[in-house]
């Protein structure tokens, strides 16, 4: 399900005329979040709890990502 949502999002970015670099960046960010969820044993079923978003942000902070990167992701 998540992979189809990512592909649909990518297609909407293309239709909106976003640049290839922007599309690559946005899709890469979503895939990184998906990998985080998978590593935590979370199977995305269409609904996302705030807890996982906050956990991901905390993970990025603890991993010493730059503030701009954290805010983008």
Instruction: Check residue 31 and give its pLDDT.
Output: 93
pLDDT (tens place) for every residue of the chain, 73 residues total: 788 999 999 999 999 999 999 999 999 999 999 999 999 999 887 888 999 999 999 999 999 999 998 888 8
Give the pLDDT score at 44.
81
- Going from N- to C-terminal start, the domains of the chain cover 2-72
Q: Is 60 exposed, middle or buried (0-12, 13-18, 19+ CB in 10 A)?
A: buried
Q: How high is the pLDDT of residue 43?
A: 85
């Amino acid at each position: 399900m998540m992979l189809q949502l990512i592909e649909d999002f990518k297609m909407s970015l293309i239709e909106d005329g976003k640049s290839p670099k922007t599309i690559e960046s946005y899709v890469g960010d979503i895939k990184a979040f998906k990998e985080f969820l998978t590593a935590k044993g979370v199977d995305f079923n269409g609904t996302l709890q705030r807890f996982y978003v906050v956990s991901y942000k905390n993970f990025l902070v603890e991993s010493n990502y730059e503030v701009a990167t954290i805010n983008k992701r």
